[in-house]
Structure 1
Amino acid sequence: MSEHTVTLNNEESSCKVHLFGATVTSWVSGGQERLFLSSEAKMDGTKAIRGGIPIVFPNFGPWECGPQHGFARISWWTVSLPPTKLDNGDMQVVLELCDDEITRNMWDYSFKLQYSITLSGSTLSCELNVTNTSTKPFDFTTLLHTYIRVDDIKQTTISGFQNCAFVDKVESNEGIEVNNEVKITKNVDRVYAGTVGHTV
């Protein structure tokens, strides 16, 4: 663990997490890097890290209260559980972000985010828990905005969206996916609703 990063390792894989934004910036499995990280990514805390697995909270997209995608990805997180080997042999680190004066100036709510990052064999698992630490209710949106590295984007297909409604941000339209596999042949920025099961 360095001043700004945490690393998890086991015999089959490794991952690196930057404390700025709690962004997973690397996941190596089977000897290959599985995440995309832009060569232009700033790692100095001046802006959100471009690539890896940024955390979106408390808002997805443009936000009238603060920066696009909220403040979680541009906040410094703390380590609540340092890299630890669990009883089952998995390696895990837990990071935490709580409300402070900066977040309350944008979004006046009390909260605690706990982000568990676990390596189990060649598998990376990320789990984000949101806790309201006051009696004042709040609404939020959150997601792990994963940038997956692929060898050739034009050879990439994604399944699991057939019959799901989508909003296409590139072409500014909406529709229902008719294909079992979505082939990526150009710039794509879509949000699908109503997916079933695990979609990767």
Structure 2
Amino acid sequence: MAVVTMTEFGALPAVQLTAADGAQVTVSLFGAHLLSWKTGDGKERLFVSSRTPLDGSKAVRGGVPVIFPQFNVRGPGLRHGFARVSTWRLTDSGGDGGQSFLEFSLDQDDLAAEHAQAWPHAFALTLRFTLHGDALDFTFTVRNSGKTAFPFGVALHTYYDVGHLSATSISGLQHQRYTDHHLNTATQEHPALHFTEKHDRLYQSTPSLTLNTANATLRLDQHEFSEWVVWNPGQADAAALVDLADDEYLRFVCIEPARVDQKPLDAGAAWTGKHRICAD
């Protein structure tokens, strides 16, 4: 039987879900931010920086920040949007048939005044985390509850704990076109992507990827997102980040399902993106 408890992560109010097999997620109400995912063997699968504030003063570096309604600066509003710095509500939870879940919601009435003024649209977001065995599913739904269309972009900016970057690779991207942080376009030629320097690449979506690390293999699937974003800051950029220890870039890689360009959602319509991570 699944157990749901209210807890704290640092100073952030959070919800912890423990499945019957011992798998566990911890989600902050601040940002509906997944801060920890442990599979039934007790292994932590996500990375959270030791230097990140955990008091709601700024977005958390690590875990899974929720990006909405814009990716990075691809829009006129707050960089990466307001969803990751807003307080969500726990609106549903449960478990049966070997699955257990938490569902969080955010709408325009939940926004701080400055965010509501900057993005004056009626909307409703739901984000459901579902545990089943060694897999974690995300179901992210955006609803336009207003009378006019609005544009939006989304991403689930997942930081994976890889142990050490030098032993990490990603397969499933061979022959895929990508754009890097210099806005150069190229094709992934090698069967596996390895990390020896900064990576900031936007790949066109493929149905699935495999993340290989020194002590784990994770399969990543997505549906209705249009890109994969692969990011690691490298040594120089990591040193410039005040919420990341200088050597912590060696411990993680970000792989995120995304729709980086804002696309319109008609009044009354909804969009749902799905993402699954499965530990082998």
Structure 1 length-normalised TM: 0.92
Match of 2:46 among 35, 39, 43: 35
Q: Paired residue for 2:177?
A: 165
d(CA) in 2 for partners of 1:38, 1:28 = 17
- In 2, Cα distance between equivalents of 1:113 and 1:186: 36
Residue by residue over 1:34-87, the C-alpha shift from the partner in whole angstroms, topping out at 9 and shown as x without a partner, is 000000121111100110001000000125643210000000001111x322x3
1:159-198 equivalences under 5 Å are 159-169=171-181, 171-193=182-204, 195-198=205-208
- Please name the residue that 1:98 is paired with: 107
Alignment coverage as a number of residue pairs: 196
2:67 corresponds, among 26, 51, 56, to: 56
- Give distance in 1, aligned partners of 2:167 and 2:135: 23
2:7 alignment counterpart: 2
Q: Which amino acid aligns with 1:5?
A: A
Stretches of structure 1 lacking an aligned partner (at least 5 in a row): none
Identity of aligned residues (%): 35
Task: Return the alpha-carbon distance in structure 2 between the equivalents of residues 192 and 64 of structure 1.
Answer: 20
Using the TM superposition, give the Cα deviation of residue 173 of structure 1 relative to its aligned residue in structure 2, in angstroms. 2.2
Deviation (angstroms), 1:150? 0.4
What is the aligned counterpart of 1:137 among 119, 130, 149?
149
Aligned mates of 1:183, 1:12 — CA distance in 2? 32
* Structure 1 equivalent of residue 57 of structure 2: 46
Higher mean C-alpha displacement, 131-140 vs 101-110:
101-110
Deviation for aligned residue 1:172: 4.6
Highest RCO, 1 vs 2 (Cα 8 Å, sep ≥ 6): 2
Matches of 2:86 and 2:103, distance apart in 1: 16
Name stretches of at least 5 consecutive residues in structure 2 with no aligned partner.
1-5, 210-219, 221-280
Superposed, 1:61-100 pairs within 5 Å as: 61-62=72-73, 65-81=76-92, 83-85=93-95, 87-100=96-109
